[in-house]
């Protein structure tokens, strides 16, 4: 199977798992509300969109060709940016889909916003690490196969 197929399968499975975890946390705090399902779907869509855009960007900028010491700061900066976007877009989604969150969002302070950013940052950092590790694993396998093929006698 092609790598892109696995990419999309893992995108959907990973973000679905993340959203189910968040859905469970909201359910435990606020009980069942139909808005929670809307919220989970919106978060799932946003997470996939943001990380897919990140993937397109790093391919266009050839970040996968960078040595680790140059790549790592870019990953950290990108994760911070993506976490802020997830928070800035996610808070209005929470406000409109989970009525019990409206009071929390109206009374936001910097510490609470920071905690939202950190929460999203953990998920996004995990995503980025898995993605980059998979890319490096694929690249090392390709290099190993080329090396083995070069050692075979030519007929």
Q: What's the pLDDT band for 106 if we cut at 50, 70, 90?
A: confident
Residue where the block lists tokens 């970040």: 63
- Joined together, the tokens standing for residue 147 give 């090396």
Mean pLDDT of all residues in 112-124: 95
Sorted by sequence, the CB contacts under 8 Å of residue 34 that are 6+ apart come out as none
Tell me, what's the pLDDT at 139?
73
Per-residue pLDDT reduced to its tens digit, 32-90 = 889 999 999 999 999 999 999 999 999 999 998 999 899 999 999 999 999 999 999 99
Tell me, what's the pLDDT at 2?
83
Q: Which of 3-12, 29-38, 138-147 has the lowest mean pLDDT?
A: 138-147
Tell me, what's the pLDDT at 95?
93
Domain extent at residue 24 = 3-151
CA gyration radius, the chain = 20
- Joined together, the tokens standing for residue 50 give 């943001």
Q: What's the pLDDT band for 141 if we cut at 50, 70, 90?
A: low
Mean pLDDT, rounded, of the chain = 89
Residue 154 has pLDDT above 80, yes or no: no
- Number of structural domains, the chain? 1
Helices of type H across the chain:
3-30, 34-60, 68-97, 102-106, 110-151
Tell me, what's the pLDDT at 92?
94
Residue with the bigger pLDDT between 146 and 22: it is: 22
Q: How far is CA 132 from each of CA 2, 13, 107, 115, rounded to the nearest angstrom? A: 17, 17, 38, 25
Question: What are φ and ψ of residue 67, in 5° steps?
Answer: -70, 155
**Which class for 107: exposed (0-12), middle (13-18), buried (19 or more C-beta within 10 A)?**
exposed
pLDDT above 90 as % of the chain: 64
């Amino acid at each position: 199977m092609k790598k892109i197929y696995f990419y999309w399968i893992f995108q959907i499975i990973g973000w679905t798992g993340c959203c189910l975890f968040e859905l469970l946390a909201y359910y435990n705090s606020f009980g069942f509300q139909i808005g929670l399902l809307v919220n989970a779907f919106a978060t799932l869509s946003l997470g996939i969109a943001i990380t897919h855009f990140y993937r397109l960007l790093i391919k266009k900028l050839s970040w996968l060709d960078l040595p680790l010491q140059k790549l790592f700061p870019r990953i950290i900066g990108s994760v911070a940016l993506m976490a802020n976007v997830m928070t800035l877009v996610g808070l209005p989604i929470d406000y409109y889909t989970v009525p019990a969150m409206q009071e929390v969002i109206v009374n936001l302070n910097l510490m609470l916003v920071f905690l939202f950013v950190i929460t999203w940052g953990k998920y996004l950092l995990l995503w980025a690490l898995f993605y980059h590790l998979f890319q490096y694993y694929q690249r090392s396998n390709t290099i190993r196969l080329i090396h083995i093929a070069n050692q075979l006698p030519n007929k």
